[in-house]
Structure 1
Amino acid sequence: MRNTPSTTSRLVPVAGALAAAALLAACSTTAPPASTMFSQASLPAAIQVPAGNRVAMETVGVGEITYECRDKANAPGQTEWVFVGPSAVLNDRSGNKVGTYFGPPATWASNDGSRLTATQIAVAPAGTGNLPYQLVKANPAMGAGAMAGVTYIQRVALQGGVAPASACSPANKGERQIVKYQADYIFWKAA
């Protein structure tokens, strides 16, 4: 009988080499940079959150806003596009859905079941074609979870969302248009 190495003894050096290569690859991989905490330093003063609050959650709202062609208030015979309400998904910075934003009334809801409404305090221009920056003071949250204890919400990093460019006239009064938008919603809590 001839003495041949077993299959197991032939695989051990290969397995050891693979493990060593994996270990070297792991050591040489650079970790992704830590996400930076939101800073409001470059925002207009009107929408900056007062001292004594800290960022609790950063989200990216991706959705749409509905507008309706209606009569202008106190202007007989004139019409304009009027904001009807938003509908957006709130994602964390990694792109995972963490909640929704809808209205009226404007409501931010977490996947954990907590939700809140808020009262607008200030707005500031955010560039042509974009909704304005916004600061709202949160009403007490309903339910325990991520929204509990939120004091303020900022709407920043805006893209789109303004009223349609198409005509709004007595001929198309009642017509609705949907406009896409994106905005970061920054949630603050007392420090």
Structure 2
Amino acid sequence: MRKFTELEAFAAPLPLDNIDTDKILPGEFLKTVSRAGLGGALFARMRYHDGGAENPAFILNQEPWRSAGILIAGHNFGCGSSREHAPWALIDFGISAIIAKSFADIFYNNCFKNGILPIVLDPEDHDLLLRLVGNSATALVKIDLVSQQIAIAGALTFAFDIEAGRKAALIEGRDEIGETLRHWEQIEAWRRTSASGVPIPAIALSGGLAR
């Protein structure tokens, strides 16, 4: 998984609540197991007319947001089905961070699994940020994960919270497989002891996978 420490990119305003995973990536694009090319289908029903032409009113079809790396959404972003293709499509398009008032739990977890930073921002800060990025002159946003700061329009900054373990995993580029491999010696010790039929002392596992 790619590392995430900081990001400077255009932020696209999408001020809608309850954007579900079917809006993010419609079901007809779930046949593939490859992530490549899914960015072209991101928000397909909003980005394109029925004939396939771009909808010029949709934010990701406008400059400079056509090359956005950050998305600003409303409440309950990513609700609906648990399809992991939704964050795959966001990544393939180039979205590396999403700022919202709240996220659906499964989608929130899937973001971390795929190297996307989901940020829940204070409602007042969120509304101000949303207004600013709606202007192309102030749409460039910098996110610093280490200091947990969002900077825009020169000196204006917003602080955000993130759980320490998730923050460390993004900074190190460590997914769930990587987390498991960090405890390989404990896993092997457990396997050998379990195979021998010797009871495993509780203390032997206290610093292993549970941490």
Q: TM-score range, shorter-chain basis?
A: under 0.3
TM-score (norm 2): 0.20
More strand by share: 1
Q: TM-score, normalised by structure 1?
A: 0.21
* Structure number, greater radius of gyration: 1
